[in-house]
Structure 1
Amino acid sequence: MPHDEPAPLSMVEVQRSVAAELDRIGPVIDDLGRRFTDAGHEIALVGGPVRDAMLGRRHNDLDLTTSAHPDETERLLKGWADAIWDMGRDFGTIGCRKGEWQVEVTTYRSESYDPSSRKPDVAFGDTLAGDLGRRDFTVNAMAVRLPGREVEDPYGGILDLAHRVLRTPGTPEDSFSDDPLRMMRAARFAAQLGFEVDASVVRAMTAMAERIDIISAERVRDELVKLIMSPFPRRGLTLLVETGLAERVLPELPALALERDEHHRHKDVYEHSLTVLEQSIDQEERLGGPDLVSRLAALMHDVGKPRTRRFVDDGTVTFHHHDVVGAKLTRKRMKALRFSNDEIDAVSSLVELHLRFHGYGSGEWTDSAVRRYVRDAGDQLTRLHVLTRADCTTRNRRKAESLRRTYDDLEARIDRLAEAEELGAMRPDLDGNQIMEILGVGPGREVGEAYRHLLELRMDDGPLGEERAREELLAWWAQR
């Protein structure tokens, strides 16, 4: 995946892109436009779909805005849509599906936050211009009236899009007061689109960073996930750190910017972590595509370093046990942001395991140690491969090549053992029922202890076979 900035667009490119996209989605928007205008209402394609059409980005999720109120919108969609849902009715939104298209139609509106509230107050508006004026950025404050396809751009969004810059329709202070989450969206759009953020927007984000505290953890998490899963996450994360927003939503990240002493006794952990993130993204074909767990693990893998940094008398610096401390910090932060338990377990496990490879030396591990590496990684083994390789950011080519060859050797050994021993389903040679039958005991603590003993033997010696496993089990039982 490229990490370079995209080039500016020409107006001709913008016009050509939007015309082609409107033709592609024409069978849906033209028909829907006539349906609403025949009933005496205005309707327009708006926001992200218009912006993405101008960027040549295609998707089948369409956002429209209308003068019709939700009940009337629902009535007009009945008989046209294949399915209708109204979970967003309180916010003026009726959703539907038409063939392969997902469509959301929202009544003209304005919304704002009470300084102490986590939820917006919604009021319906009566003009398209008023609706566009309440949107977050000029590139999202454009519309295409239907069915005539006239472009409405009252705030210069087309020019900003061509120049790849994010500005707000009004003052950024007013915009962020209305919805503080827009500060997170500024960073997210910078990461998604590769846009610059206007200096006035950056100043407002910095001055108003504490306003993000009224936004729910779930909404902050969703924006953070979109940012991290974007093509240019470094751009968005850097903006969060520089404006002070990261201090409030992901404080472990700015904490990585450890003070560097005059002798440069340790590398810049913050910049290193962003580079590891980018290098993990470059390997995502191994994971089948963009992968949130892998990206979060790369970003968080060194968050234990600030807590564990120690200066030694000989002038070196150490970070002993930063893997274990980092895993605990990662788990705590992800819980606070309301990530799922599966995501929390996966990411924190990878953070705890990220140093394990460095005990491999130049290949001195026994087969037993390799088996344990595979067992401890579990279903995160491929992600651990990605993280470990991405964690090499040295500019010393000889050292980097040596690390790569050594990890190649470890992966090859894992593959050989996996083929011979079915490492992916590593279990003792006897199951619980067999253990109970051989020992003549019922379910209980002894069975679990016997199972773990046989598993340790399996790790040390590889597959034993049922006969030897029986002998080892009986010998262990006799010694108890």
Structure 2
Amino acid sequence: MQPVAAAVERLHALADSPTVRRIAERFAAAGHELALVGGPVRDAFLGRDAHDLDFASSASPDEILAVIAPLASAHWDIGRAFGTIGARLGELTVEITTYRSDVYDGATRKPVVAFGDSLEGDLLRRDFTVNALALRLPGKVLVDPSGGLEDLLAGRLRTPIEPEVSFGDDPLRMLRGARFTAQLGFTLGAATASAIQAMADRIDIVSAERVGEELTKLLLAPDPDSGLRVLVDTGLAERILPELPALRLEIDEHAHHKDVYEHSLTALRQAIALEGSRGHAPDLVLRLATLLHDIGKPATRRIEPGGAVSFHHHDVLGAKLATKRLRELRFDGETIKAVATLVRLHLRFFGYADAGWTDAAVRRYVRDAGDQLERLHILSRADVTTRNQRKAARLQQAYDELEERIAALAAEEELAAIRPDLDGEQIMAILGIAPGPEVGEAYRHLLELRLDEGPLAPADAEQRLRAWWSARQDPAG
């Protein structure tokens, strides 16, 4: 949080920038009110730069367009029905919206758009008080009808009106509350949290696409952990991602095992740290896979003789469950496939740590991971959350060794593009066969040889292929 004086100075500097000042002067000359609203004002107090600017105005959409069009290098009116005109001015993107005072029918989250007559009324219809701040232009007067500045200083999220009314109007605001805790590091006010808990089932009227979008923004935030805990603690996760609260498995004195929910959140924090230390930007696929990697455990939990707990094949089931959930949330196919691959493979490394691998096993690890290898490296490392420092050090050393072996083999054999030593055309020519299933079988046989033994010389590969084909043609011989 920036000191108030410094934040005000940042706001004034933004208002005095040539582009903003030009916009404000043009609106004033046309007899319209204009104010900088929402995120840019909030972010000035948080010390964050504003790249896109939102304005509210007393002008109608047609009047906004008449003022802004001569100033802009490009403009668009895709949001005209909602009172919004967008424009590009130099490097700056702006959206200017007519004051709103919408009415909701209670059955959907789509408002009956109604234009308002005051800035204060417009601000009170927004999601949270910290987003209901405005700076009137060109006079640079801060407008705060709901105590947003006080909430900013306290790091608190409250709704400008009664939360039951606000969330009843638009249930998506409940998810935005969880997301803002992750993005801004704020906490929910007590009344806000209670209202979400009481109204969690209202999220069911929100489209799966919008839920998926909010979950994506939350996971890509600096601290997804806090937002995910809000989802679970308020009951929202039961409606949109029930696999997450299901990880809170019962632990008793007869069946000791790690808290899978806390383990998953710890693994996510560690994956994010590794993501940064290895030079990667926030990675949605990695974060989804890490969060969901153990969701197969509740259904596979078994108490073994002696009281131990097992989760056999939870990796395979988890991949299926992750695929199903992400499809329901309308994630794209590429993301779903990548996440499922990582969940399915997340246990593979621990076999290496226990027994060591042959070169063939290392090749298969790389082959199976494909283009997800770097993410699998991070997930496998992040999955080690034991408090036993000796065990943690042993696993880290084992993975260091595995990565070194992968790098060495890759340098020798181009592991990233493992192919059989003969291609389909060569197989058909050598065996004198036409395209068909037998070519595929031969190809897979040669691929297994390649993985087991490394590259073969062409003559050796041909000899091995002919021997396989002969044995296949005469299995009794």
TM range (shorter): over 0.9
1:380 is aligned to 2:372: yes
- Aligned ranges 1:184-263 → 2 under 5 Å: 184-263=175-254
Q: Deviations over 1:80-131 (max 9, x none)?
A: 1111122222222111211211111111113343232253322111211110
Matched, 1:312 2:304: yes
2:132 to 131, 141, 145: 141
CA–CA separation in structure 2 for the residues paired with 1:306 and 1:362: 25
Per the alignment, residue 113 of structure 2 pairs with: 122
Alignment partner of 1:355 out of 332, 347, 363: 347
Are 2:14 and 1:12 equivalent residues in the alignment? no
**Is the 1:287–1:382 contact (alpha carbons within 8 Å) kept by the matching residues of 2?**
no
Of 322, 326, 330, the residue aligned with 1:330 is 322
Moved more, 117-126 or 318-327: 117-126
Mapped to 2, the partners of 1:263 and 1:314 lie a distance apart of: 9
Q: CA RMSD in A?
A: 1.5
Size of the aligned set, in residue pairs, is: 471
| Uncovered stretches (5+) of structure 1, i.e. residues with no partner | 1-7
Cα displacement string for residues 144-176 of structure 1 (whole angstroms, at most 9, x for unaligned residues): 112222211111111111111111111111111
Per the TM alignment, residue 16 of structure 1 is displaced from its structure 2 partner at its CA by: 3.9
1:279 to 262, 266, 270: 270
2:391 maps to a residue whose letter is K
Aligned twin of 2:400: 408
Letter in 2 for 1:147: P
Residue 4 of structure 1: aligned partner: none
Aligned match for 1:168, one of 159, 164, 173:
159
Task: Name the structure 2 match of 1:465.
Answer: 457
Other structure's SS at 1:105 match: strand
1:32 aligned residue (23, 35, 38): 23
* Residue 178 (1) aligns with residue 151 (2): no
Q: Would you say the 8 A contact 2:4–2:45 is kept in 1?
A: no
Counterpart residue identity of residue 396, structure 2: R
Match of 2:335 in 1: 343
Cα distance, 1:270–1:92 mapped onto 2, change above 3 Å: same
Letter in 2 for 1:441: I
Q: Tell me if 1:156 matches 2:124.
A: no
Aligned to 1:131: 122
Q: Secondary structure at the match of 1:122?
A: coil
Amino acid at match of 1:220: V
Tell me the percent identity. 61
Code of the residue aligned with 1:302 in structure 2: it is D
Q: Secondary structure of the equivalent of 1:79?
A: helix
Supply the AA of the counterpart residue of 1:405: Q
TM-superposed deviation, 1:313: 2.2
Identify the range of structure 1 (330-339 vs 51-60) with the bigger mean alpha-carbon deviation. Answer: 51-60
Question: Shift of residue 40 of structure 1?
Answer: 1.5
Letter in 2 for 1:15: V
Task: State which of 51, 57, 66 in structure 2 corresponds to 1:75.
Answer: 66
SS of the equivalent of 1:236 reads helix
Alignment of 1:65 with 2:56, yes or no, is: yes
Q: Distance in 1 between matches of 2:365 and 2:171?
A: 45
Normalising to structure 2: TM-score of the pair? 0.96
Corresponding residue number in structure 1 for 2:43? 52
- Segments of structure 2 that go 5 or more residues without pairing to the other structure are 473-477
Q: Contact 1:300–1:351 at 8 Å: present in 2 too?
A: yes
Where do 1:431-450 residues align within 5 Å? 431-450=423-442
Q: TM-score, normalised by structure 1?
A: 0.95
String of CA shifts for 1:428-480, please: whole Å, max 9, x gaps.
Answer: 11222222222233322222222111111111110112221122222222223
C-alpha separation in 2, matches of 1:401 and 1:321: 26
C-alpha distance in 2 between matches for 1:311 and 1:287: 41
The match for 1:428 is: 420
Amino acid corresponding to residue 290 of structure 2 in structure 1? A
**Which residue does the alignment assign to 1:105?**
96
Provide, for residues 294-353 of structure 1, a one-character-per-residue CA deviation record: whole Å limited to 9, x for no partner. 111111011111111111120111111111111111000000000000000011110111
